[in-house]
């Protein structure tokens, strides 16, 4: 417990104490506080535990894989259950335990309790449906792997997919049909994708170069947060996704920032816009977002 300066609290000093002693106590006590010296340092918090009170979703797990839930925060501990790659609404029971090379979270997923590796969880923002999460996870995995053949099977068969470099979606943003997507990464054609924020110069790039700058410019398969129909990253550009795609939902993969020195000004988001067709969810838009002027 830190000793407070008597002049700043309501502790009463007996009148029988010599005035000299009182002045000495005030001078020494307050001097120590002002110099930053704690009178009696308390017990330091456990450096291996991090308190959390959030809901999480699974990330960075392949569509044909599962996330193991273990009995203890140890990779060698017994597996007590599994969470699918599209798992959502994963609740954290207590604290995160940090090991030498990993961190573990005590989770509750439906009726399952146990520990999972922290790297496979991202903060969930908003209510998420597992069917939507599954389709978004498949799309994100295809983007990570640059598997355009796989991505083409997830594109809306009638509307195709529109690519928007910033969060304000425009009619003139380029749209590609599913059959065009398969060979787009190796296509040498240069397209005009819009204009750069700030300079207003045209964005003229091949799809491969556009992909590096305005699609997968961060490792979005492992974001800090995932939102469903909820805007996480906010800049100066208007987000008109709900108006432009009134029948769609969007899943946002978000990084709060890459370089701590920039104070979050280098945040990134990638939003996957999905619509239903004959009972299945398909990709109709890929909207990139970042801090803009």
112: pLDDT strictly greater than 80: yes
pLDDT at position 235 is 81
pLDDT band at 137 (very low <50, low <70, confident <90, very high): very high
36: pLDDT strictly greater than 50: no
* Residues 139, 154 contacting (CB under 8 angstroms): yes
pLDDT at position 32 is 40
Helix or strand holding residue 50 (H, E): strand 49-51
In terms of pLDDT, which residue wins out, 29 or 102? Answer: 102
pLDDT at position 13 is 38
35: pLDDT strictly greater than 60: no
9: pLDDT strictly greater than 60: no
In terms of pLDDT, which residue wins out, 245 or 237? Answer: 245
Q: Does the domain formed by 145-290 have CATH 3.10.450?
A: yes
pLDDT band at 30 (very low <50, low <70, confident <90, very high): very low
pLDDT at position 266 is 86
pLDDT, tens digit, 9 for 90 and up, residues 252-283: 999 998 888 888 788 999 999 999 999 999 99
pLDDT at position 276 is 98
The dihedral built from the CA positions of residue 212, 218, 219 and 222, taken in this order, carries a sign that is: negative
Structure tokens given for 86: 């599209």
Average pLDDT over residues 110-115: 97
Cα–Cα separations (whole angstroms), residue 157 to 160, 199, 207, 277 = 6, 36, 20, 8
Options 2.30.30.40, 3.40.50.300, 3.40.630.30, 1.10.150.240; CATH of 49-125? 2.30.30.40
Q: Give the C-alpha separation, 10 to 19, whole Å.
A: 18
3-class DSSP assignment, residue 139: helix
Average pLDDT over residues 41-53: 41
pLDDT at position 216 is 98
pLDDT at position 41 is 32
User: Domain map of the chain by residue range?
Assistant: 1-42, 49-125, 145-290
pLDDT, tens digit, 9 for 90 and up, residues 145-193: 999 999 999 999 999 999 999 999 999 999 999 999 999 999 999 999 9
Q: Give the C-alpha separation, 241 to 13, whole Å.
A: 67
pLDDT at position 29 is 42
Q: Give the C-alpha separation, 166 to 164, whole Å.
A: 6
Per 3-state DSSP, what percentage of the chain is helix, strand, and coil (rounded to 5)? 20, 30, 45
The dihedral built from the CA positions of residue 193, 198, 200 and 203, taken in this order, carries a sign that is: negative
Task: Tell me, yes or no, if the two domains 49-125 and 145-290 fold the same way.
Answer: no
136: pLDDT strictly greater than 50: yes
Average pLDDT score, the chain:
85
pLDDT, tens digit, 9 for 90 and up, residues 65-103: 999 999 999 999 999 999 999 999 999 987 778 877 789
How much of the chain, in percent, has pLDDT values that exceed 70? 82
pLDDT, tens digit, 9 for 90 and up, residues 187-201: 999 999 999 998 999
Torsion of CA 42, 47, 52, 57, to 10 degrees: 180
């Amino acid at each position: 417990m830190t000793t407070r300066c008597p002049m700043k609290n309501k502790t009463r000093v007996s009148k029988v104490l010599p005035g000299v002693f009182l002045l000495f106590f005030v001078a020494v006590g307050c001097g120590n506080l002002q110099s930053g010296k704690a009178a009696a340092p308390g017990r330091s918090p456990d450096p291996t535990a991090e308190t959390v009170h959030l809901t999480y979703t699974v990330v960075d797990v392949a569509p044909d894989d599962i996330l193991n839930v273990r009995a203890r925060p140890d990779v060698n501990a017994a597996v007590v259950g599994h969470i699918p790659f599209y798992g959502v609404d994963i609740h954290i029971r207590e604290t995160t335990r940090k090991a030498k090379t990993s961190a573990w979270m005590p989770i509750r997923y439906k009726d399952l309790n146990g520990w999972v590796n922290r790297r496979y969880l991202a903060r969930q923002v908003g209510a998420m449906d597992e069917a939507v999460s599954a389709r978004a996870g498949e799309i994100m995995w295809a983007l990570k792997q640059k598997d355009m053949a796989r991505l083409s099977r997830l594109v809306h068969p009638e509307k195709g997919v529109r690519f928007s470099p910033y969060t304000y979606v425009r009619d003139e943003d380029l749209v590609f049909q599913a059959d065009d997507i398969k060979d787009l990464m190796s296509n040498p054609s240069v397209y005009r994708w819009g204009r750069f924020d700030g300079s207003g110069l045209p964005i003229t790039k091949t799809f491969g170069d556009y992909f590096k700058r305005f699609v997968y410019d961060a490792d979005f398969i492992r974001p800090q947060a995932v939102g469903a129909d909820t805007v996480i990253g906010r800049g100066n550009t208007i987000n008109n996704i709900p108006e432009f795609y009134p029948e769609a939902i969007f899943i946002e993969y978000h990084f709060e920032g890459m370089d701590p020195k920039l104070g979050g000004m280098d945040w990134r988001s990638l939003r996957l816009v999905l619509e239903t067709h004959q009972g299945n969810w398909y990709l109709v838009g890929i909207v990139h977002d970042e801090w803009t002027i």
